[in-house]
Amino acid sequence: MVIIYTKRFQLKSLTINNVNEKYLSWYNSNAESKKFISFAQDKKNLDELVQYVKGKENKKDTLFLGIFCSYGIHIGNIKYEPINFDKKTAVMGILIGEVHWRGKGVAYEVINAVNEYLKTNFDIKFIYLGVDKTNDSAISVYKK
């Protein structure tokens, strides 16, 4: 179990115990999230979300973390997949699922903390990402 602390958040390995209707709603009820998240392109059910998370739990080339605010509420996820330990690279994706947390510097704070963790613990030197050119808020964070 990986746990990383930032000033405002606790990032910890996501497990099927974190899967619930609220988490599922990030994909099914939020048109903005659906537009940019590949998992959300089709309507999902709880069993599909459980299987998705379960499939990531023990993968050696994946770091899949839930973002939890200081009072323990799951507000989003950050995922690095695949991580290539030989080439020292990783591909990153992030979702701030709770709408009221967007635009509050969550992504910037979390990305910096996890990138530092990967650099310190695994000597990861390059982080890659794919971003839709119309996702202006994500592009702004990534440029920072």
Domain range enclosing 86: 3-96+110-131
Question: So what's the pLDDT on residue 90?
Answer: 97
pLDDT, block means (10 residues), the chain with 144 residues: 95 96 83 56 83 94 96 94 97 91 93 97 92 74 73
The answer to the question of residue 92 being in a domain is yes
Question: So what's the pLDDT on residue 33?
Answer: 54
Question: So what's the pLDDT on residue 23?
Answer: 92
Number of structural domains, the chain? 1
The answer to the question of residue 118 being in a domain is yes
- Single pTM value for the model: 0.88
Question: So what's the pLDDT on residue 41?
Answer: 54
Decide: residue 114, CB within 10 A, 0-12 exposed, 13-18 middle, 19+ buried.
buried
CATH at residue 11? 3.40.630.30
Question: So what's the pLDDT on residue 136?
Answer: 76
Query: Who's near 69: CB < 8 A, 6+ residues apart?
Result: 8, 9, 75, 101
